[in-house]
Structure 1
């Protein structure tokens, strides 16, 4: 029997194409404030399902209620608070408004994790840039400056001394769109835990059902690019069994501390010499996770999100992965640059382990490293039979990028 699902959507880890592909058996009703949507997105969503304007939440909720929805989902941090408010109006099971706040406000989140006995870095909140010196004195150096509400490593900076901190904090506040930041102790990872050629952090893709873990999968990361930009993912992840189980335990405890109950959670952990430490918890699918889970295990993550939303217990596949999936993000260098030429980067598709090379930026475009992962200029995706083969593919990608990609001063 077809079930109606409200999808709160302005952006997210699931694309409209993925939503359409996994919507068989569901009627999707998209709830979005149309005045805040990117150009063309409403028309694209309308090709998948009905679009309801919720700029006026009360009026929008009344329209949604008439559709008699059985569940509600969201796929981006930006949309979680709205989804929680609409769920309350519609009487649908979803994260509480307090849990949605905890999943999207880094200051609130760190307080709750600390109070639950989990290890967190020392942290302070900033309402003005001139508070950064006192904050730095409290948390120590090096430290990290990041928005209280933000994603994709946007406007995240390393702070090494008070003068540097004052300059970067002033720039961050002046950039607009963010009125609060946190300064936190920079966690020191242990490279030997993850192993060579991998980043010193991972994410645990966690599916919750009625507050209990129904499924967990480790997602290894490639090393960060300066200052804190994600460069790629490998799924299933590569960690010794004991470390993986410890990561699963910490991820579950973090979800519980925030009061999260149902659906996909994306929990990032730093791998330190003393064990995994929570970097942050996102109450949604992680970026590229749906695609990689399907390529590795045949898991239809978006469909499962719909199932959980309407109250169906998820049935997860068992067994070994069919392949190791990976995603490599091509990032611009730090500085003020324009992309001059892609060279022969597209030729990477000739490799048997490369599925696609997508060049996002065009020659002549100005590129901005400060946008974090959202400043990605290209994406390479592929699969391999073994983890070792993935790392060989990554080395080939990086050699090609170093030889072919050309930037010039902006």
Structure 2
């Protein structure tokens, strides 16, 4: 390797595309060293990672041996874009003496129950919740939290095993299925949490937003604000849009301020993604994820407001960065997800996508499944069937585009 500074990127599922990260690193005059997780996805990506930088493979190794190899690279910074590798990155950063999220507050970043406790401790927000690890704890959780409620994994991402429950029987069934892996991935612990009721909004808009922030000590700033589309049943994301928003400017600023305070409460260094519920009583924190949000770099670049990946790299390297005003003024750029119906179990047929590709303001259509592929709402974003991106001149035009997308008959399910 050259004398250029080395940036470590702990790589696994959900990471920023390796080529994109490599491009941003080169633009910042540094070289990449990918720390590949011991997972099926990361191991399959080794040839790609190796073409873009050095690879430190963690498969079958102790953390001590990995740290010794990484220390020999004299790294200037460390980062991860994978929700599943935040805890690993915290430990590696501490061992290498590199700035990253606070080790003392690591669980508050990665565990949804500990995060709720932390927000209550600092007076940021108080939401009733109860951690459940066995089916016989459900009734106690209901008594403490009340109904309706939301059930979600203590550690998880992308709406996996996340759903609302309105009755005690429904809550018992959902928790039993999640803990037992019935019909979907198994969880070791779930949170039964007070359901935050959103303010009334018109379709296709969601009643929540996301704010990606960058933090260095007490300096926490918004990087990009994403407005959301309405959730699909039972609690699945349909994507986001940025630039112009249907949300009033003053409310966007209030949301961004709350997001920055939430990030500051968790000892985050670098970037974090904060989801905020828009309730009749004001914005409330849904959760903080200690990495850059999905699609955020793409949306920020296409909106012309910021380059989130570049800010993330500069923060990891300890370099200065600039951040934009949280209120967007550009086109309504979007990333829209098509999700299967709740009862669908398999893709029966996929027809010509030409009609989707010809829709106004749609620039890219990416099918994510083939005929015969299993589908299941419980796996969250992994169950999406297509992703579309583009740019509309304003939210009104975007709403028409979303309606047109959903009206196209291109896929059949069993």
Category of TM-score, reference length = shorter chain: over 0.9
1:34 pairs, out of 38, 51, 65, with 38
Identify the match of residue 274 of structure 1 among 268, 272, 281.
281
Q: Which runs of 5+ in 1 are unaligned?
A: none
Tell me which residue corresponds to 2:190.
181
Which segment is superposed worse, 290-299 or 220-229?
Answer: 290-299
CA contact (8 A) 2:148 2:195 kept: yes
Q: In structure 1, how many angstroms separate the alpha carbons of the residues matched to 2:63 and 2:191?
A: 30
Q: 87-96 or 157-166, which moves further after superposition?
A: 157-166
Shift of 1:219: 0.8
Query: Is the Cα contact below 8 Å between 2:223 and 2:323 reproduced in 1?
Result: no
- The 5 Å alignment of 1:238-387 reads 238-260=246-268, 262-297=269-304, 299-316=306-323, 321-387=329-395
- Going from structure 1 to structure 2, the CA distance change for 1:317 and 1:243 (only over 3 Å counts) comes to closer
The answer on 1:146 being equivalent to 2:152 is yes
Greater Cα shift, 378-387 or 312-321: 312-321
Q: Distance in 1 between matches of 2:251 and 2:174?
A: 36
State the Cα distance separating 1:347 from its structure 2 match: 2.7
Q: Which runs of 5+ in 2 are unaligned?
A: none
Task: Give the aligned CA root-mean-square deviation in angstroms.
Answer: 1.9
CA contact (8 A) 1:264 1:284 kept: yes
- Does the CA-based 8 Å contact 1:203-1:267 persist in structure 2? yes
Counting matched residue pairs gives: 403
Contact kept, 8 Å, 1:341 with 1:363, in 2: the verdict is yes
Q: C-alpha offsets along residues 65-98 of structure 1, whole Å, 9 cap, x if unaligned? A: 1111000001122111111100111111111223
Q: After TM superposition, what 4+ stretches of structure 1 lie above 4 angstroms from structure 2?
A: 35-39, 317-322
Query: Is the deviation greater in 223-232 or in 41-50?
Result: 41-50
SS of 1:230 mapped into structure 2: coil
Q: Is the 8 A contact 1:34 1:42 kept in 2?
A: no
TM-score of the two chains, using structure 2 as the length reference = 0.92
Aligned to 1:51: 55
Asked if the contact 2:37–2:43 (Cα under 8 Å) also holds between the matched residues in 1, the reply is: no
- 1:191 match: secondary structure: coil
Question: Does the alignment pair 1:10 with 2:8?
Answer: no
